[in-house]
Amino acid sequence: MGIEKEQAKNHDALPDALMELVSAQDVDVRKAVAGNPSTPPDRLAELAKDRAWVVRYWVAYNKSTPPEVLERLAKDRSRNVRWGVAKNSSTSPDLLTALAKDQSEYVRCAVAKNGNTLPEVFVGLAKDKSDWVTWNVATSIFTPSGVLAQLAKDEYASIRCWVGGNPSAPPDILVELTKDKYWDVRYSVTKNPSVPPEVLASLAEDENWLVRQSVAQSFYTPPSTLVKLATDEDEYIRKAVAINKIAPPEALAVLARDNNKYIRMAVANNPSTPPHALFHLALDENKWVRRGVAYNESTPPETLAQLAQDEDELVSEAATRNNNRASDFMALTDMQGGRATVEYPNPTNDLEIS
């Protein structure tokens, strides 16, 4: 039976082999055949009448299922089967329009996520009595901008939040949402992968620290904005910048001298931290900061040579094992029988920001 199941799942299986499995006793085998895009259309039509709803579901979700079969399954007694049809990317716009009025909210949700759904259908779904359906409309990348604009003005902040995080939301809608009185709506915009850099720059001055922290964490935030956030009065914002791998060198250089040891630890572990800042942190009084520098594969060989003789055993061991270490420096240290003499840049001058 295991061999039959594996054969039924094989998308490269010959049609004749799959045809023989349509009448298999094991429901898992029939289910696998029903979901296989290589199954012949006439056999999918046969499986669409299977007594087990799970088999009919996989026929409904199969992109190779003929339109007439999908139309019949769209009226299936099982909502799970109708849900499969609504999710199928091969389902026609007309059939999706009909399913948008289905009694099951799960089916209507799937219609909102289908790329074949007509724009006018979204208008109706946006007014659905089910919050779950509204959520799917507000977050769907296929929702027309006009519908998103309407939802962005909804009386419920939660719905506006959903729109704020939609990657298909136009910039003008996102700009309006940055002015929302609720911080969580503004926060949702910072998490949008399509948010314009200038919008993030404006949110970097938000009164709510969670909004600013999210901007500091974003990989889409402009470098100049991260430099500004590196001097934020809130330590959580500064730490977020210190962790951000796209933080510019000048921002990390400032944070390397922060009074908060956890922020310095974050800078020490950041692979984007510039060499002169790592040198400064290698002299830090806190062993965890020095350990971060020792583990950082961006740390220059000369700094690793210095750390290889650190009084803390874990620091020296990490520096010795660092892939970026220089054997020449290690050899020099052994020859001199003491601490290696290395010419370092002036950290004070290098850390100055113009």
What is the rounded CA–CA span in Å between residue 81 and residue 142?
A: 23
In the chain, count of helices (H) and strands (E)?
27, 0
The DSSP 8-state label assigned to residue 272 in this structure reads T
Query: What is the arithmetic mean of pLDDT over 247-263?
Result: 98
- Is the residue at 253 inside a domain? yes
Task: With cut-offs at 50, 70 and 90, classify the pLDDT of residue 98.
Answer: very high
Under 8 Å between Cβ of 309 and 336: no
Q: Are residues 276 and 341 in the same domain?
A: yes
Under 8 Å between Cβ of 278 and 300: yes
Q: Which helix (H) or strand (E) holds 292?
A: helix 287-295
- Is the residue at 204 inside a domain? no
Question: Does residue 156 have a pLDDT over 70?
Answer: yes
- Is the residue at 170 inside a domain? yes
Question: Does residue 184 have a pLDDT over 80?
Answer: yes
Domain termination site, one of 79, 110, 141: 110
Q: How far is residue 86 from each of residues 9, 61, 81, 120, measured CA to CA in Å? A: 23, 8, 9, 16
Q: How far is residue 219 from each of residues 188, 190, 191, measured CA to CA in Å? A: 15, 10, 10
pTM listed for this prediction? 0.81
Under 8 Å between Cβ of 295 and 322: yes
Q: Are residues 178 and 263 in the same domain?
A: no
Question: Does residue 15 have a pLDDT over 90?
Answer: no
pLDDT more than 90, % of the chain: 81
Query: What is the arithmetic mean of pLDDT over 18-22?
Result: 50
Residue 4 is predicted with a pLDDT of: 54
Q: Are residues 74 and 146 in the same domain?
A: no
Domain count, the chain: 3
What is the rounded CA–CA span in Å between residue 190 and residue 178?
A: 9
Q: What is the CATH number for 288?
A: 1.25.10.10
- Is the residue at 294 inside a domain? yes
Q: Are residues 88 and 123 in the same domain?
A: no
Q: Are residues 326 and 253 in the same domain?
A: yes
- Is the residue at 144 inside a domain? yes
What is the rounded CA–CA span in Å between residue 55 and residue 44?
A: 10
Q: Are residues 5 and 38 in the same domain?
A: yes
Domain termination site, one of 56, 85, 110: 110
Q: Are residues 106 and 123 in the same domain?
A: no
pLDDT in tens, 102-113: 999 999 999 999
* DSSP 3-state of 231: coil
Residue 332 is predicted with a pLDDT of: 46
pLDDT in tens, 189-235: 999 999 999 999 999 999 999 999 999 999 999 999 999 999 999 99
- Is the residue at 67 inside a domain? yes
- Average pLDDT taken over every residue of the chain: 89
pLDDT in tens, 278-333: 999 999 999 999 999 999 999 999 999 999 999 999 999 999 999 877 554 555 45
Domain termination site, one of 195, 210, 228: 195
pLDDT in tens, 85-94: 999 999 999 9
Nearest to 108 by CA among 78, 129, 89: 129
Task: Give the least confident one: 6-15, 37-46, 120-129, 244-253.
Answer: 6-15
Residue 284 is predicted with a pLDDT of: 97
Taking every pair of Cα atoms in the chain, the longest distance, rounded to a whole number of angstroms, is 85
Task: With cut-offs at 50, 70 and 90, classify the pLDDT of residue 25.
Answer: low
Q: Are residues 263 and 286 in the same domain?
A: yes
Residue 330 is predicted with a pLDDT of: 52
What is the rounded CA–CA span in Å between residue 276 and residue 299?
A: 9
Residue 331 is predicted with a pLDDT of: 52
Query: What is the arithmetic mean of pLDDT over 72-89?
Result: 98
- Name the more confident of 125 and 6: 125
Task: Give the least confident one: 128-142, 286-300, 339-353.
Answer: 339-353
- Is the residue at 222 inside a domain? no
- Name the more confident of 326 and 136: 136
- Is the residue at 206 inside a domain? no
Residue 336 is predicted with a pLDDT of: 47
Q: Are residues 100 and 156 in the same domain?
A: no
Residue 27 is predicted with a pLDDT of: 83
Task: With cut-offs at 50, 70 and 90, classify the pLDDT of residue 61.
Answer: very high
State both tokens at 173.
Answer: 């809608």
Q: Are residues 7 and 105 in the same domain?
A: yes
Nearest to 237 by CA among 261, 219, 263: 263
Under 8 Å between Cβ of 206 and 182: no
Q: Are residues 71 and 122 in the same domain?
A: no
What is the rounded CA–CA span in Å between residue 309 and residue 16?
A: 71
Residue 30 is predicted with a pLDDT of: 87
Q: Are residues 122 and 105 in the same domain?
A: no
Residue partners of 242: CB distance under 8 A and separation at least 6: 230, 252, 255, 258, 263, 264, 266, 267, 270
Burial class (CB in 10 A: 0-12, 13-18, 19+), 289: buried
Residue-range definition of the domain harbouring residue 154 = 118-195
